[in-house]
Amino acid sequence: MSPAEFDRFARRYDEDLAKSLVVTGESREFYAQKRVDWSAHCAAQLGHTVRRILDYGCGDGANVPMLAARFNAEHVLGVDVSAESIAVARQTNPASGMQFLCTSEWTPDGTIDLAFTNGVFHHIRPAERAACLEGIRRALRPDGLFAFWENNPWNPGTQFVMSRCAFDEHAIKISPLKAKKLLSSAGFKILRTDSLFYFPRQLSFLRPAEAWLRPLPLGGQYLVLCENAS
């Protein structure tokens, strides 16, 4: 998807996503908070201190205050190709410690402790993915963490949700296996892979079982947590 196409969805992103998620019984905020919480849990298990965070492909910036609060971060930078999305993010997140830039304005500087991205790379053309990953790697400090979240094409529920989502019309999905190969080729060291969001709200009584299902690559979304190996 081109920057112009992302601009078209910038001010209706929340509405379009809500329409596609209605079948799960949960909100955008539910899933976003779970992703941020799990990323923080994994970083804490590794003993990593996270003070500076990059939200790559931040869209309207909704994840940025969650990341700032959960990690008690000093600075969270959101970047996106869509100038209209960045305008929305700046307007709705004026607090200090949060910054938003178009990718054309952004220069990776090697000071980031944790890079975070969710459902972004299936919108990036395959030929352009390596360059985007290189930018993220250059943004990270040595041994900085990268939380790579993607929609799982091996999950039927995810396939259905994406088929109902206007801005996923041209998505090129990435399997967990392909994601790990992509990240390894870009110079990242894979630390762990987790699969979340197996059950919709209607089956929430089964969610305690997800603790045992996380190693299986079948949840609605997956996390590949990796480290800047440079």
pLDDT at 116 over 80: yes
pLDDT score, position 72: 96
Distance CA 102, CA 87 (A): 9
Our count of domains for the chain comes to 1
pLDDT score, position 5: 62
Rounded mean pLDDT, 82-92: 93
Contact status, residue 33 vs residue 189, Cβ threshold 8 Å: no
pLDDT in tens, 138-190: 999 999 999 999 999 999 999 988 888 777 778 899 999 999 999 999 999 99
More confident of the two residues 24 and 3:
24
Distance CA 67, CA 53 (A): 8
Tokens 């910036």 found at:
61
pLDDT score, position 20: 76
pLDDT score, position 166: 74
pLDDT cut 70: percent of the chain above it: 93
Nearest CA to 48 out of 174, 143, 183 is that of: 143
Provide the residue range defining the domain that includes 104.
3-228
Do β-strands 75-80 and 188-196 pair in parallel, antiparallel, or remain unpaired?
A: unpaired
Q: Domain holding 202: CATH number? A: 3.40.50.150
What's the pTM? 0.94
Nearest CA to 158 out of 206, 222, 221 is that of: 221
Distant-in-sequence, close-in-space partners of 205: CB < 8 Å, separation ≥ 6: none
Mean pLDDT for the chain overall: 92
pLDDT score, position 18: 64
pLDDT score, position 165: 78
